[in-house]
Amino acid sequence: MLKGILEGIVLEIISRGEIYGYEITKKLHALGFQGIAEATVYALLLRLEKNKLVHITKKPSDMGPPRKFYTLNERGFEELAAFWAKWDFLSERIHLLRTNGGEKNV
Amino acid sequence: MFSHEMKEKIKQFAKEQAPYYLEEAEMTYMEKVRRKTGETKSKLMAKLAKFKSRSETAMEAENDMILYMSDYMKDLMEQGLSEQEAFEQAKKELKFRSETTKSADLQERIVAHYHHMDIADYEAVGLFYGAFVFLGISIGALIGFIGSGGWEMFLSGGWIRTLIGAIIGFLIGTGLGLLSNAVIVLKRKK
């Protein structure tokens, strides 16, 4: 489940505008997700690309190889919308469980 | 930014590690497609192999890792780490750890093995073992019994030869059972 949540967070970050790999990690750290390993984000970006959820633009970098910049494509936006729908459902149920023990009409 | 030697080290690390990540990403993608189409992994892999340019994809993953690692190292160096320390830290963080790919492959092979293994093969192997062991014990014990001098000698200490004969027969029987097992396995491989 956590894997899916991280994917949703990264999709949301990408949806805000063109961004490159390590910049996403920095955003995550700034959000307070310091515990996320570097390898996790790198692997996640490869998966998003493989699953064709992102559009990629390559730009020259001072490090040598061209740098990839990610934006969400149509499928990516659909996946993000599905993630938020799942999230809303989950958070509503958890809230219900926490406040009323799972009963809707108390 | 980095020394020439360090650039080479980063490149080497990316060359070693990126394929693992790529394999995992492809595996995850394959699992999704497989779930949708219901096809086996081997069939899909064979189909995809015709279309994908492996070396280009691998090179891209490698370049991504070089950049990612360099960015991370730059960040660490800005925090006060030396170039070498930053490299060691980045190496530790970016080393591929997941066993997903390997374990999924292994699981698939086990499933395929049991899927293709005919129950009759198991039965045949068991019967061969049983038959050879029984025959071995019987023949060994009989030779030992006769060789020791028959019933009278058996009672006055000759039983030890019968016992030795039975043990040798058991070992020969087990050996023949193993051989028959090997023959069945080799026949199945053809």
Residue-wise pLDDT tens digits, A65-97: 899 999 999 999 999 999 999 999 999 999 999
Mutation target vs A (from B28, B71, B93; most A CBs, 10 A cutoff): B71
Give the residue numbers in B contacting A (CB under 8 Å), as ranges.
Answer: 1, 7, 21-22, 24-26, 28-29, 32, 61, 63-68, 70-72, 75, 90, 93-98
Residue-wise pLDDT tens digits, A16-32: 999 999 999 999 999 99
Give the least confident one: A63-67, A92-96, B26-30, B116-120: B116-120
pLDDT at B131 over 50: yes
ipTM beyond cut 0.90: no
Confidence of residue B38 (pLDDT cuts 50, 70, 90): low
pLDDT at A10 over 70: yes
Mutation target vs B (from A23, A38, A49, A70; most B CBs, 10 A cutoff): A38
Mean pLDDT of B50-66: 76
pLDDT at B185 over 80: no
Which contiguous run of DSSP H or E holds residue A20?
Answer: strand A19-20
Our CA-based measurement puts residue A63 at a distance from the nearest CA of chain B, in whole angstroms, of 7
Alpha carbon distance A64, A84 (integer Å) = 37
Our CA-based measurement puts residue A18 at a distance from the nearest CA of chain B, in whole angstroms, of 16
Structure tokens given for B127:
């019967």
Q: Residues for chain B: how many in total?
A: 190
Phi-psi category of residue B137: left, alpha or beta, with phi > 0 → left and psi -120 to 50 → alpha: alpha
- Within 8 A of A24 by CB-CB distance, chain B residues are none
Helix pair angle (A21-30, A38-50), 10° resolution: 130
Domains of chain A: 1-101 (1.10.10.10)
Among all residues of chain A, which has the CA nearest to that of B68?
A22
pLDDT at B99 over 60: no
What b/e sequence results for B67-106 when a residue is b if at least 16 CB atoms lie within 10 Å of its CB, and e otherwise? bbbbbbbbbbbeeebebeebbebbeeebebeeeebeebee
Count of helix runs (H) and strand runs (E) in chain A = 4, 3
A65 and B97: CB-CB below 8 Å?
no
- Within 8 A of A66 by CB-CB distance, chain B residues are 63
Confidence of residue B140 (pLDDT cuts 50, 70, 90): confident
Burial of A44 (0-12, 13-18, 19+ CB in 10 A): buried
Output the pLDDT for position B172.
Answer: 87
Give the least confident one: A3-7, A15-19, B41-45: B41-45
B21 and A26: CB-CB below 8 Å?
no
Output the pLDDT for position A17.
Answer: 94
Helix pair angle (A74-100, A2-15), 10° resolution: 130
pTM for this model (two decimals): 0.60
B93 and A68: CB-CB below 8 Å?
no
A39 and B94: CB-CB below 8 Å?
yes
pLDDT at B51 over 60: no
Map tokens 């009759």 to a residue. Answer: B120
Among all residues of chain B, which has the CA nearest to that of A64?
B67
Greater confidence, A61 or B38?
A: A61
- Within 8 A of B75 by CB-CB distance, chain A residues are 22, 26
CA A87 to chain centre: 12
Q: Residue B109: which residues within 8 A CB-CB, separation 6 or more?
A: none
User: What does the mean pLDDT of chain B come to?
Assistant: 78
